[in-house]
């Protein structure tokens, strides 16, 4: 089983980090372990886990999606306008929000593939556009999200299984099954691992790259929607931290930013670990306004740890590539 | 009348002013094994790219089984039944063996999903066939050895069930028994009507397997003949094929008591440089020859400090020389400097001025109190421009505005200004007109005569013969042969480069790679 351990090492490390941090969280939590604590922890981590899943696919292609935050904001604002009223209206609203996310992702993918923009630049620009649209739709926090649906989505089943956790597990397994069973998904890995080889083999990786960004948009929309369920309203500025936090989460979870390999479990472990770290810091008296400081430091530590292999490369010309 | 498997008519391709392929017409009969031979830069890789549909020719047409090939990517040739086993492996390291085998066209179930069970079963079949039966189809390709990757690449080509199989240096990293197995596979498939195009440097293999041979030189098809119709020497001459036409400066014999400047012993680095030892004397031009990719580049980069040494030692003027990087190699009392192979990506800062490019390695010496001394810089760049007869309008113009030859002179100026003890020159005349070439030859000889030691890497046999006092031919990362004096001739260099096994010589260690 040597093969298994070496390939899955990064994810296993991510899982280990998650377990340690979760144990610390439960240990220092002022109210101890209870059904309510589990529920609120799971719900608070859910949007970040979805955003981190969104980030996973562009990163697998060797890219990066800096518009995740913008898409979360835009879909959250849309949800606060549309996800209300009769059941039919609610269903229509949910579908529209998801479609909007997918459309944003398609725009990113098209800019990168056909516009030949570097992913970082392209998504930085579109992210600003999406944030602007969100502010246009919802200049001030407010709006309304259907309470019944929101309660259902943030509930806990049998006192142990939060609906949000179940939801994330289902979404992650579905998307993962799809990309490992479809040629399109295989191309996502190939694009990040060896694009030249993939092209020589006759694979159309352009489509796969677009698919990765569409998936990113769709999952970001789910994150925006879920934020709406939590807050029962919309806020155009709520999405901003999700860009950097989604990247931090996947890195902590053991996904390589070089692309080509990885697992959705990285996103899930990483997001939950990051949320637990924030909570632990809060409980131990760190000022809430200093959160970005700690999140940034966590990200730097995680990325530096992942780059240690470069230091060992005998070719000194590769040091800064 | 039978339809030929491949029919080329007047195929030509140019990259800017260089003609990679000129008016090639060739017919390959179905069910035969056709070998294509040629030196580096003869046009083989261009021909392959055109055949596989990756590259569109400027002129001419390609027909596969009577159908016109449109050159819009590898898919176009694949649909006409041509599969390619690429030299630079077309495997995706992060995917599994089975995913790679069926990368572009996996077996599908009813709904268009990949049928993982069938993929596993079919993978086992193809892996068994090429002798990789003990590899689990789920293994990641990144974990395979080079030999295993090469075999997988072959399996991947066969799995497409092609009518034409193009093998581009497919045996480059295969040990003997695997080559035998491959040849048996090819022989079986040929009996069932497969057409094979076989590109290889190994003459003995071509003799064993080919029905017909074509020789390319300078982008032209020199001759197509039945295998066995020509002797080794004839083929070697056909491959190299010219008289020494360029004027090289006269050589003076290096005195036997000339001090040793660079002494290399048992040097190994990455996995491309294997146990290399030689001594470089003052006033000597030592040629480094061989086919492309035999570790020459890595050897020179290691000497320059760009690649960390794995084993062995180097002395400079008798003192241990182990630079921590290129900056350290340049900074010493007796600098070692390297002229990179690709001047556009590894040498010049294309958008910067000619002056800044020349002075890049010496700016420290021309500054006062940490500020650049404009007057000294101008004087310095003007003097070297005159010395090397570099044609420039203004030293402030971007270096990208110069012709290739003058760009190369700017790079040489950068080296000269530092007065190195050792010049490491990587293909210094690549893509340069004949006139400038001669100037550069004369300059190199002058530097050597004035006491520098020169390592001169080139893939051009003529330059090895005309310029070098001694030649080391590398194969598989090791020195295959050392040639001196009259022994530096085309046949000897070609034989050593191709690692042709003569009865009295032992096999090269690179050929007997240990498989895990």
**Mean pLDDT calculated for residue range B66-84:** 84
CB contact set of B401 (below 8 Å; sequence gap of 6+): B393
Q: Can you tell me the distance from the alpha carbon of B372 to that of B364, in angstroms, rounded to the nearest whole number?
A: 8
Q: Can you tell me the distance from the alpha carbon of A77 to that of A96, in angstroms, rounded to the nearest whole number?
A: 12
> What's phi and psi for B438, nearest 5 deg?
-60, -40
CB contact set of A255 (below 8 Å; sequence gap of 6+): A10, A14, A56, A59, A60, A262, A263, A266, A267, A270
Residue pLDDT, tens place only, B375-390: 888 888 999 999 998 8
Distance from CA of B99 to the nearest CA of A (A): 8
- B268 to chain A: nearest residue by CA? A314
Residue pLDDT tens, chain A, 321 long: 444 456 677 788 888 888 888 888 888 887 777 888 888 888 989 999 999 999 999 999 999 999 999 999 999 999 998 888 888 988 999 999 999 999 999 999 999 999 989 999 999 999 999 999 999 998 888 888 888 888 888 888 887 889 999 999 999 999 888 888 887 888 898 888 888 888 777 788 888 999 999 999 999 999 999 999 998 888 988 888 899 889 989 988 888 888 888 888 999 999 999 888 888 887 887 787 877 787 788 778 877 877 776 666 777 776 665
> What's phi and psi for B477, nearest 5 deg?
85, -5
Give percent of chain B above pLDDT 70.
92
Judge whether A42 and A18 are in contact, CB under 8 Å.
Answer: no
Of the residues A200, A260, A313, A315, the best mutation for testing chain B's interface (the one with the most B CB atoms within 10 Å of its CB) is: A200
**Mean pLDDT calculated for residue range B201-211:** 79
Strand B453-457, strand B285-289: pairing: parallel
Hey, are the CB atoms on B92 and A317 less than 8 Å from each other?
Answer: no
Band (B509; pLDDT cuts 50, 70, 90): very low
Q: Can you tell me the distance from the alpha carbon of A117 to that of A121, in angstroms, rounded to the nearest whole number?
A: 7
Judge whether B153 and B147 are in contact, CB under 8 Å.
Answer: no
Q: Among candidates A209, A291, A216, A195, which has minimal Cα distance to A50?
A: A216
Residues of B within 8 A of A315 (CB-CB) are: 270, 301, 306-308
Judge whether B141 and B102 are in contact, CB under 8 Å.
Answer: no
Of the residues B92, B118, B138, B148, the best mutation for testing chain A's interface (the one with the most A CB atoms within 10 Å of its CB) is: B92
Query: Of how many residues is chain A composed?
Result: 321
Residue pLDDT, tens place only, B172-200: 667 777 888 888 888 888 888 889 999 87
Hey, are the CB atoms on A314 and B54 less than 8 Å from each other?
Answer: no
Q: Can you tell me the distance from the alpha carbon of A150 to that of A170, in angstroms, rounded to the nearest whole number?
A: 18
Beta strands in B291-394 (DSSP E): 309-316, 319-320, 336-339, 367-368, 371-372
**pTM attached to this predicted model:** 0.75
pLDDT of B311 strictly over 80: yes
Of B91, B93, B306, the CB nearest to A317: B306
In chain A, which residues touch B (CB < 8 A)?
3, 6-7, 181-183, 186, 189-190, 192-194, 196-203, 260-261, 314-317
Distance from CA of B308 to the nearest CA of A (A): 5
B503 or A199, which is more confident: A199
CB contact set of B180 (below 8 Å; sequence gap of 6+): none
CB contact set of B342 (below 8 Å; sequence gap of 6+): none
* pLDDT at residue number B507: 42
Band (B248; pLDDT cuts 50, 70, 90): confident
Q: What angle do CA A220, A226, A231 make, to 5 degrees?
A: 130
Mean pLDDT: which of A252-256, B87-91, B333-337, B396-400 is highest? B333-337
**Mean pLDDT calculated for residue range B332-359:** 88
Average pLDDT over chain B reads: 84
Sheet of B59-64, strand order: B18-28, B6-15, B59-64, B67-68
* pLDDT at residue number B88: 66
Q: Among candidates A219, A229, A244, which has minimal Cα distance to A152?
A: A229
Residue pLDDT, tens place only, B454-472: 999 987 788 898 899 999 9
Q: Can you tell me the distance from the alpha carbon of B49 to that of B360, in angstroms, rounded to the nearest whole number?
A: 38
Estimate to the nearest angstrom the gap between the alpha carbon of B150 and the chain centroid: 18
The neighbouring-strand residues paired with B217 are B220
Of B84, B116, B306, the CB nearest to A316: B306
Give percent of chain B above pLDDT 90.
24
Residues of A within 8 A of B73 (CB-CB) are: 199, 202
């Amino acid at each position: 089983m040597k093969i298994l351990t070496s390939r899955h090492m990064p994810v296993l490390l991510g899982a280990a980090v998650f377990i340690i941090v979760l144990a610390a969280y439960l240990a220092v939590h002022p109210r101890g372990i209870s059904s309510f604590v589990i529920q609120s922890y799971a719900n608070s981590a859910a949007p970040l886990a979805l955003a981190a899943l969104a980030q996973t696919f562009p990163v697998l292609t060797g890219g990066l999606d800096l518009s995740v935050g913008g898409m979360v904001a835009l879909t959250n604002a849309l949800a606060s306008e549309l996800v209300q009223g009769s059941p039919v209206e609610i269903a229509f609203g949910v579908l529209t929000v998801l479609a909007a996310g997918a459309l944003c992702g398609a725009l990113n993918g098209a800019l990168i593939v056909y516009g030949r923009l570097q992913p970082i630049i392209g998504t930085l620009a579109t992210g600003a556009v999406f944030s602007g649209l969100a502010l246009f739709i919802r200049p001030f926090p407010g709006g309304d999200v259907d309470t019944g649906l929101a309660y259902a989505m943030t509930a806990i089943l049998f006192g142990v299984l939060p609906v949000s956790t179940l939801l994330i597990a289902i979404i992650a397994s579905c998307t993962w099954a799809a990309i490992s069973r479809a040629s399109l998904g295989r191309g996502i890995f190939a694009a990040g691992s060896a694009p030249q080889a993939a092209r020589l083999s006759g694979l159309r990786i352009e489509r796969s790259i677009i698919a990765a960004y569409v998936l990113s948009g769709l999952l970001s929309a789910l994150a925006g929607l879920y934020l709406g369920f939590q807050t029962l309203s919309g806020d155009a500025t709520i999405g901003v931290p999700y860009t950097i936090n989604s990247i931090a989460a996947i890195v902590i979870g053991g996904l390589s930013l070089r692309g080509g390999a990885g697992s959705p479990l990285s996103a899930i472990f990483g997001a939950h670990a990051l949320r637990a770290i924030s909570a632990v810091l809060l409980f131990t008296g760190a000022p809430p306004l200093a959160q970005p400081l700690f999140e940034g430091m966590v990200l730097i530590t995680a990325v530096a740890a992942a780059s240690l292999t470069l230091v060992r490369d005998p070719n000194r010309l590769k040091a800064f590539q | 009348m039978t339809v030929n498997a491949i029919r080329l008519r007047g195929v030509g391709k140019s990259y800017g002013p260089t003609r990679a392929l000129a008016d090639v017409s060739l017919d390959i009969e179905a069910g035969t094994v056709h070998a294509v031979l040629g030196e580096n830069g003869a046009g083989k890789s261009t021909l392959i790219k055109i055949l596989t549909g990756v590259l569109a020719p400027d002129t001419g047409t390609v027909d596969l089984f009577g159908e016109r090939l449109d050159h819009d990517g590898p898919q176009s040739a694949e649909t006409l039944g041509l599969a390619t086993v690429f030299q630079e492996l077309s495997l995706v390291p992060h995917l599994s063996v089975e995913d790679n085998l069926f990368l572009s066209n996996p077996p599908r179930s009813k709904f268009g999903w990949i049928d993982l069970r069938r993929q596993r079963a079919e993978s086992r079949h193809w892996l068994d066939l090429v002798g990789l039966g003990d590899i689990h189809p789920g293994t990641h390709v990144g974990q395979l050895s080079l030999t295993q990757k090469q075999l997988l690449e072959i399996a991947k080509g066969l799995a497409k069930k092609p009518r034409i199989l193009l093998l581009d240096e497919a045996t480059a990293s295969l040990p003997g028994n695997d080559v035998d197995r491959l040849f048996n596979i090819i022989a079986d498939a040929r009996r069932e009507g497969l057409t094979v195009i076989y590109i290889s440097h190994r003459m003995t293999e071509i003799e064993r397997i080919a029905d017909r041979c074509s020789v390319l030189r300078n982008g032209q098809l020199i001759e197509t003949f039945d295998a066995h119709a020509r002797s080794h020497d004839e083929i070697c001459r056909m491959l190299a094929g010219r008289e020494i036409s360029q004027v090289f400066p006269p050589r003076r014999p290096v005195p036997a008591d000339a001090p040793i400047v660079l002494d290399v012993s048992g040097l190994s680095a990455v996995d491309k440089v294997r146990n290399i030892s030689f001594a470089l004397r003052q006033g000597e031009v030592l040629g480094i020859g061989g086919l492309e990719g035999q570790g020459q580049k890595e050897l020179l980069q290691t000497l320059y400090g760009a690649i960390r040494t794995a084993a062995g030692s180097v002395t400079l003027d008798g003192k241990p020389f182990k630079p921590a990087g290129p900056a350290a190699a340049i900074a010493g009392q007796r600098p070692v400097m390297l002229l990179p192979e690709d001047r556009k990506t590894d040498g010049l800062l294309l958008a910067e001025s000619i002056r800044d490019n020349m002075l890049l390695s010496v700016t420290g010496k021309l500054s006062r109190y940490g500020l650049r001394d404009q007057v000294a810089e101008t004087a310095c760049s003007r003097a070297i421009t005159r010395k090397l007869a570099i044609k420039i309008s203004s030293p402030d113009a971007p270096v990208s505005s110069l012709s290739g030859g003058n760009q190369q002179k700017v790079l040489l100026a950068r080296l000269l200004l530092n007065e190195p003890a050792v010049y490491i020159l990587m293909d210094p005349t690549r893509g340069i007109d004949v006139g400038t070439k001669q100037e550069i030859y004369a300059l190199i000889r002058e530097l050597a005569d004035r006491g520098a030691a020169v390592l001169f890497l080139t893939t051009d046999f003529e330059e090895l013969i005309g310029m070098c006092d001694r030649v080391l031919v590398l194969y598989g990362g090791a020195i295959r042969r050392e040639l001196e004096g009259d022994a530096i001739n085309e046949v000897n260099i070609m034989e050593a480069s191709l690692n042709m096994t003569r009865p009295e010589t032992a096999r090269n260690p690179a050929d007997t790679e240990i498989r895990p």
